[in-house]
Chains A and B, each alone.
Chain A
Amino acid sequence: MSDRDGALERLAARRARVAGALTAAVMAVYFGFILLIAFSKPLLATKLRPGLTLGIALGALVIVISWLSTWLYVRWANRRYDAALDELRK
């Protein structure tokens, strides 16, 4: 196996780790939210301030976190992953 193949294999493994970790994080956030709804409805009805319950805040947060997770990945990929790919292209 040449150096290049080894480098490619390490990069592939690194990308799979990043992708897997981020996927697991988003799953944990979303299914955590669903389980809270299923098991602790009174908790989510807690009012943080007039007109804002914990449930609404967390729901909006799930949407924002999903988006931020894509931003995080794109930033990693644009900086690290693409730089490593450029190395491999040489």
Chain B
Amino acid sequence: MALLFFFLFISITLGITYWAARRTRTTEHFYAAGRSISAGQNGFALAGDYMSAASFLGIAGLVSTTGFDGLIYSTGWLVGWPVVLFLIAEPLRNLGKYTFADVVALRLRAVPVRIAAALGTLATVVFYLIAQMVGAGSLIRLLFDIPFEAAVVLTGAAMIVYVLFGGMLATTWVQIVKAGLLLGGATLLGLLVLARFGFDPTALFAAAAEKYGDAVLAPGKLVSSPLEAISLGMALMFGTAGLPHILMRFYTVPEARAARSSVFYATGLIGYFYLMTFVLGFGAMVLVGPDAIRAADAGGNMAAPLLAELLGGTPFLGFISAVAFATILAVVAGLTLSGAAALSHDLWVNVVRGGRSESDEELRVARFATVALGLLAIGLGISLEGQNVAFMVALAFAIAASANFPALVLAIFWPRLSTAGAVASMLTGTLATVLLIWLSPTIQVDMLKEAEAWFPLKNPALVTIPLSFAMGIVVSLLRPEPEAEARYRALARQMHLGHEDT
């Protein structure tokens, strides 16, 4: 049954890819869907890019086994969106073309800025991809009962096909279909749960408290150290505004006003989805039971699928499993496309070719980069089987928040940012984050079994975000660039009014 829904999704998305492939002839189509996506469509696509299997299955699982604590993650994943809207979305759309590096490099010296930005982008994308691929392998094995390697290869192959042939247009519509399925599936499941409690969520929570004690409705062990909690919170809040595959979406809409509205839609959809997963988690706790959930998967990932089976039988289990798989597939497609854009647009065209390259050539390089990244993702996914890679999502967010976000904010709001300052900020953000994660308890104690870690926090954002801002500001002041400052004034009009010649 699951396979039936799964093949249905694959056929529909391949149909979309075929349709999109015939419309994808230039780089503007490949990277930005010809700027033809409406605000509402982009709202769904942003939500689709963001709502990963980790947030659907993971948060539902966390709530079903610990109760309240899952809500801490839900709020953290959401609060980044207002920041995207207030600080980034519109200036990004007005100043850039395909990647966030366009905005940083616009008034600075292109070569060093593009190299540093591509490093930050690729680090974010690769860690995020690894987490998704390894997660996909285990999840698909669990849901569809096929071998891990086959699952990873299948995911990688489908994603390569979408991006390679359909570019951003296919990727966007895959996200929209997936977001619709995921929101529809979660709503249906939520209504089936609430129907048993007179459509009153508090009746559901009360039933959970009666069965498992009042503690499930109050904060538990997740936040024990305030510094740890704030550090993770900073990574989530500012990381969203530095995720390359999210930022790239703002180039697919016709103008800044549409970019603005699309964040409002996306925030509403994602917020609704997280409130729904909270209900689903409690539904699974009361109806399925934490012990049965942990028995199916120690990490709790099976909470939502088991709940679906209980309430709607095998067909509903099949539907929810297929939705979970579609979710992973769509997220990796978006990530791969943004990685390919960094390799082809930032590194090949603007560094190797010095900004002079034919659209045809750039398109060929972008497609080559897509295949290379896809194969890399498959290889890493298979070789890291069984490793605990959940921390890599937090790592990707920490890099995005420390390497990409500060440089973007400084480039948009601070006239005196110089090339040296931007490069220093981005390199510091990337390298310090990776280094501090290496020295953190996650790697040193949990993985390498050392007695203690040199750096106390599991997530370094509390240190690396301020450090990256400070490096950008101090180095810019020490190595000023008056021409860049003059160009900032000249670009002020474009930043607010957009590309007026087009």
Do B82 and A22 touch (CB < 8 A)?
yes
Do B267 and A67 touch (CB < 8 A)?
yes
Do B86 and A22 touch (CB < 8 A)?
yes
Q: Is the interface of B mostly helix, strand, loop or mixed?
A: helix
Do B204 and A51 touch (CB < 8 A)?
yes
A22 surroundings in chain B (CB, below 8 A): 82, 86
Segment of B153-161, B216-224, B341-349, B373-381 engaged in the interface with chain A: B216-224
**Which residues 256-285 of B sit at the A interface, judged by CB distance below 8 A?**
257, 260-261, 263-264, 267-268, 271, 274-275, 278
Partner of A30, one of B85, B225, B233, B275: B233
**Which residues 218-246 of B sit at the A interface, judged by CB distance below 8 A?**
218-219, 223-226, 229-230, 233, 237
Q: How large is the interface on B (under 10, 10 to 19, 20 to 34, 35 or more residues)?
A: 35 or more
Beta-carbon nearest neighbor of B201 in chain A: A51
Do A63 and B260 touch (CB < 8 A)?
no
Beta-carbon nearest neighbor of B234 in chain A: A31
Beta-carbon nearest neighbor of B225 in chain A: A38
Q: B83 on the interface (CB 8 Å rule)?
A: yes
Do B85 and A37 touch (CB < 8 A)?
no
A11 surroundings in chain B (CB, below 8 A): 496
Do B267 and A70 touch (CB < 8 A)?
yes
A35 surroundings in chain B (CB, below 8 A): 226, 230
Number of interface residues of A (CB under 8 A): 51
Binding site for A on B (CB under 8 A): 68, 71-72, 74-76, 78-79, 81-83, 85-87, 90, 201-207, 209, 214-215, 217-219, 223-226, 229-230, 233, 237, 257, 260-261, 263-264, 267-268, 271, 274-275, 278, 413, 492-493, 495-497, 500
Binding site for B on A (CB under 8 A): 8-9, 11-12, 15-16, 18-20, 22-23, 26-27, 29-31, 33-35, 37-39, 41, 44-45, 47, 49-53, 55-56, 59-60, 62-64, 66-67, 69-71, 73-74, 77-78, 82, 85, 88-89
